[in-house]
């Protein structure tokens, strides 16, 4: 028995050695596996980073909406599910400041004033010191600088022919099909390709430049009939990258959707009924405020995609809006969010305060400021709506900016005016010096002048100002009063300003929205925020 013990000890020793070898082999295998998976994850993250930085047309999925919903890129976990971009037409810093004083007084605060991130945005286009709405929004949507008038095309696109005429006539494009630039993918198309819901809201026509640049590609912004056809999923001249179409479209401009000679008013030259075509593609089509209200959460009518056009052309100014037929910007914005947030993948919503710029073009200061106030009301309403589901905005990015500045100027050295009320015109009124607020400030000819004036506009005093009718609070109470300008331009002419515009941001992935940005850089930051 004693001779057997050493043999048993050696056998047990060999078993223990074998177990140790197996354990080491398992640990080595696990280490190799971890290294391989780490390499895969790093490579995947690197690929996503390159995708954000490169931004070529080939990055956009070429398939129809079924493939788009499935997604073609892995979205980083840190990406914002939702992004709302507010664009105030012509809402430069001077109009914005005047609007705040008009609505709240010098010590008041707007929703946008509470946004933690701010930047200045340069607004030049490829061929102009001041980009127009088309070029500005193309920069925001594609990261490409184009000539004024071009919508989401490559930089070599020309909006005018050899004779200098715009390549659009009577709402129809005359852009050549080849040889004049190529399409560039937009942020909205990229969002669509990631499986997100998409929507546009505007107080202008939905075919106008700011909203159109998100979903259309054209050499000339004036081809609005052609632009409208690109919204129809699967139709002639449609934008295939939109797949089954935008989920929400709210604004004005039914004249570009109805067949020619339609009694409701049409500017189309063909017999296409885009309302009927959109209904056939699953859209609910509405045209009154009451119909939009019926879609509210309390009424919860089942609905897929929504097209709501509430005016033949642009919607009314906020001061003039027929509330029984036209919803306000805040109402349209919150209804859009209600519909878009049903998509679990997230959404992109573009909201435009269009009539601000139209009023500024017409030197209609009171109407411009009231529409600016409605724009901020829409921002506040959107924040409240979003925070109901995302209290800390961990999954939502909200960015507010303007397409370009305007030539409205605020004269200084005035006394505090307080907010505008019926008996006190405030910032809209005659300037009164802070040294003696009881008396109006006078120009060199002894005439009073207003706090707000315009560089270019439609009301330059003809002849010596001393011979012009004196300004007083009664005249200023007229909502249709045209404010004075230094340079006279024809009615309907654009009066774009050349200064930088403010950008403010709140929510997820907004820390890089600061400093001074080129308008093309805004696209990069928006795209990165959404992980596209």
Statement to judge: residues 439 and 465 lie in one domain: yes
- Same domain for 337 and 368, yes or no, is yes
Same domain, 318 and 445: no
pLDDT of 462 reads 78
Residues 353 and 447 in one domain: no
Same domain, 372 and 274: yes
* Mean pLDDT for the stretch of residues 444-472: 87
| 403-424: average pLDDT | 94
Query: Confidence band (pLDDT; 50, 70, 90) for 202?
Result: very high
Mean pLDDT for 316-334 is 93
488 and 506 belong to one structural domain = no
The dihedrals phi and psi of 89, each to the nearest 5 degrees, come to -65, 115
Q: Is residue 509 part of a domain?
A: yes
pTM higher than 0.95 for the full model?
no
Q: Give the mean pLDDT of 266-277.
A: 96
Percent of the chain residues past pLDDT 90, beyond the cut: 74
The DSSP string of 455-521 is EEES-PPPS-GGGSPPP-HHHHT-TTPPPPEEEE--TT---EE-S-EEEEEEETT-TT--EEEEHHH
Least confident of 41-55, 131-145, 408-422, 430-444: 41-55
Instruction: Report whether pLDDT(17) > 70.
Output: no
pLDDT digits (tens, 9 = 90+) for 80-101: 999 999 999 999 999 999 999 9
493: confidence class by pLDDT, cuts 50, 70, 90: confident
Total domains in the fold of the chain: 2
Strand partners, 475: none
* Predicted local confidence at residue 472, as pLDDT: 84
Q: Is residue 45 part of a domain?
A: no
Calculate ∠ Cα 105-107-109, nearest 5°: 85
Average pLDDT, the chain: 87
Work out the average pLDDT over 456-480.
84
Per-residue pLDDT, averaged over 519-528, amounts to: 98
For 360-391, the pLDDT digits (tens) are 999 999 999 999 999 999 999 999 999 999 99
Strands 305-309 and 283-286: parallel
Residue 330 has pLDDT above 90, yes or no: yes
Residues 338 and 308 in one domain: yes
Q: Looking at residue 321, which CATH number applies to its domain?
A: 3.40.720.10
Locus of tokens 């640990």: 27
Query: Per-residue pLDDT for 467 more than 90?
Result: no
In sequence order, what are the residues at sequence separation of 6 or more whose Cβ sits closer than 8 angstroms to the Cβ of residue 508? Answer: 80, 393, 394, 395, 396, 397, 529
Same domain for 236 and 305, yes or no, is yes
Look at residue 416 in the predicted model and tell me its pLDDT: 96
Residue 204 and residue 343 in one domain: yes
Distance from C-alpha of 412 to C-alpha of 121, rounded to nearest angstrom:
24
pLDDT at 464: 83
With a cut of 70, say whether residue 171 has pLDDT above it.
Answer: yes
pLDDT at 60: 35
Residues 359, 66: Cα–Cα separation, whole Å: 42
Euclidean distance between the first and the last CA atom of the chain, given in angstroms as a whole number: 77
E strand map for 287-334: 305-309
Q: What domain range is 454 assigned to?
A: 418-494
Return the number of other C-beta atoms located less than 10 Å from residue 270's C-beta: 12
Residue 373 in any domain: the answer is yes
Structure tokens that stand for 264 in this block: 């409701």
Same domain, 378 and 434: no
pLDDT given at position 58: 33
According to the model, what pLDDT value does residue 62 have?
38
In the predicted structure, residue 5 carries a pLDDT above the cut 70: no
At 133 the pLDDT is: 98
Residue among 396, 444, 323, 510 nearest 84 (CA): 396
Given a contact cutoff of 8 angstroms between Cβ atoms, the answer to whether 340 and 248 are in contact is yes
pLDDT tier, 134 (very low <50, low <70, confident <90, very high otherwise): very high
Are 130 and 119 in contact, with CB atoms under 8 Å apart? no
- The length of the chain is 532
**Mean pLDDT throughout 340-369?**
96
Phi/psi for 44 (5° steps) reads -60, -45
Q: For residue 363, which of 227, 235, 457 has the smallest C-alpha distance?
A: 457
Same domain, 160 and 193: yes
- Distance CA(372)–CA(360), nearest Å, equals 11
Please give the pLDDT value at position 41: 41
Q: How many CB atoms lie within 10 A of CB 346?
A: 22
Q: Say whether both 259 and 312 belong to one domain.
A: yes
Write the pLDDT tens digit of every residue in 37-72. 444 443 333 333 322 323 333 333 333 343 343 345
- Give the model's pLDDT for residue 366: 97
């Amino acid at each position: 028995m004693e001779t057997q013990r050493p043999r048993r000890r050696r056998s047990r020793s060999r078993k223990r050695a074998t177990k140790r070898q197996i354990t080491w082999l398992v640990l080595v295998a696990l280490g190799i596996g971890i290294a391989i998976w780490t390499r895969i994850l790093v490579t995947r993250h690197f690929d996503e980073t390159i995708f954000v930085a490169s931004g070529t047309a080939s990055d956009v999925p070429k398939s129809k909406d079924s493939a788009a919903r499935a997604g073609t890129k892995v979205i980083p976990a840190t990406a914002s599910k939702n992004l709302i971009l507010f664009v105030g037409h012509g809402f430069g810093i001077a109009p914005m400041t005047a609007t705040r004083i008009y609505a709240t007084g010098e010590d008041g605060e707007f929703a946008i004033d509470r946004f933690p991130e701010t930047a200045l945005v340069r607004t030049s286009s490829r061929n102009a010191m001041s980009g127009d709405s088309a070029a500005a929004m193309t920069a925001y949507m594609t990261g490409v600088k184009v000539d004024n008038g071009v919508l989401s095309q490559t930089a070599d696109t020309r909006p005018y022919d050899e004779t200098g005429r715009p390549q659009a006539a009577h709402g129809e494009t005359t852009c050549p099909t080849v040889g004049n630039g190529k399409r560039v993918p937009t942020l909205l198309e990229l969002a669509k390709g990631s499986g997100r819901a998409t929507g546009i809201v505007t107080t202008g026509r939905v075919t106008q430049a700011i909203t159109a640049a998100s979903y259309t590609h054209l050499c000339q912004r004036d081809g609005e009939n052609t632009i409208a056809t690109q919204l129809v999923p699967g139709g002639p001249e449609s934008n295939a990258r939109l797949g089954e179409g935008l989920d929400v479209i709210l604004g004005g401009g039914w004249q570009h959707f109805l067949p020619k000679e339609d009694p409701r008013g049409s500017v189309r030259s063909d017999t296409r009924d885009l309302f009927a075509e959109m209904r056939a593609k699953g859209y609910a089509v509405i045209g009154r405020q009451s119909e939009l209200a019926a879609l509210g959460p309390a009424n919860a009518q089942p609905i897929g995609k929504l097209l709501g056009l509430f005016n033949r052309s642009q919607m009314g100014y906020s001061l003039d809006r027929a509330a029984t037929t036209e919803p306000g910007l805040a109402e349209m914005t919150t209804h859009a969010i209600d519909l878009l947030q049903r998509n679990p993948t997230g959404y992109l919503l573009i909201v435009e305060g269009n009539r601000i710029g139209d009023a500024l073009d017409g030197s209609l200061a009171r109407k411009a400021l009231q529409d600016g106030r409605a724009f901020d009301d829409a921002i506040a309403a959107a924040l409240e709506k979003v925070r109901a589901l995302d209290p800390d905005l961990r999954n939502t990015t909200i960015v507010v900016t303007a397409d370009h500045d305007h030539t409205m100027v605020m004269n200084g050295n005035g006394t505090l005016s307080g907010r505008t009320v019926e008996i006190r015109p405030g910032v809209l009124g005659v300037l009164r010096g802070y040294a003696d607020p009881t008396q109006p400030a006078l120009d060199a000819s002894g005439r009073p002048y207003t706090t707000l004036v315009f560089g270019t506009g439609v009301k330059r005093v003809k002849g010596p100002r001393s011979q012009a009718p004196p300004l007083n609070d009664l005249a200023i109470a007229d909502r249709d009063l045209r404010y004075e300008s230094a340079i006279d331009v024809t009615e309907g002419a654009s009066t774009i300003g050349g200064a930088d515009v403010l950008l403010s941001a709140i929510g997820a992935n907004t820390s890089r929205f600061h400093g001074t940005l080129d308008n093309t850089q805004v696209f990069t930051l928006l795209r990165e925020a959404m992980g596209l």
